[in-house]
Amino acid sequence: MTQKDLQALLEDSRQAGIYRLPHGDRRALRDAAEAAGFACFEADLGDSDQIHGVLTRLGRQLGFPEWYGGNFDALKDCLSDISWREECGYLLILSRAEALQFANANAFRTLNEVFAAAIDEWRSQGVPMWVFYDLEADGLATLPTLE
């Protein structure tokens, strides 16, 4: 897939969602997203197996405002109103989420529900928001065109 094809895919908010990052495709994904004018974020969850640590790291690494409360509701609020980085789309790449996924499957599931709600909210405005995990997780698909 060419960068132009990948860029066109990323610009389609109807296909935006939560996916597993295919091995070695991080750079191509970032390049296409940046070419599309997206805000690109990367967060290293630091192998934290506690949701509080994950939420704290997300807030710090994504540059959330001071009012961010470090809980699921605050995460949803910040992801749904990225007024400090208004762009035509959003790409989030998360790494080292394995510890949370295995130690606290319910928290991992709830985290993804928050991401999905933010993605749906942006989709309703015609703005694509993508979340990619740099891990192989049950229930996470690989973006078909990148396989």
Tokens of 6: 């990948």
Alpha carbons 55 and 69: distance in angstroms, whole number: 9
Query: What confidence tens digit (pLDDT) does each residue in 62-121 have?
Result: 999 999 999 999 999 999 988 767 789 999 999 999 999 999 999 999 999 999 999 999
| Cα→Cα distances 22→5, 26, 29, 68, 141, Å | 16, 8, 10, 31, 10
Alpha carbons 20 and 132: distance in angstroms, whole number: 5
Query: Contact at 8 Å (CB) between 7 and 36?
Result: yes
Domain covering 3-136 in this structure, CATH number? 3.30.370.10
Alpha carbons 4 and 40: distance in angstroms, whole number: 17
DSSP letters, 38-67, are -EEEEEE-TT--SHHHHHHHHHHHTT--TT
Which pLDDT does position 95 carry in this prediction? Answer: 93
- pTM across the whole model: 0.91
Phi and psi (nearest 5°) for 95?
A: -120, 160
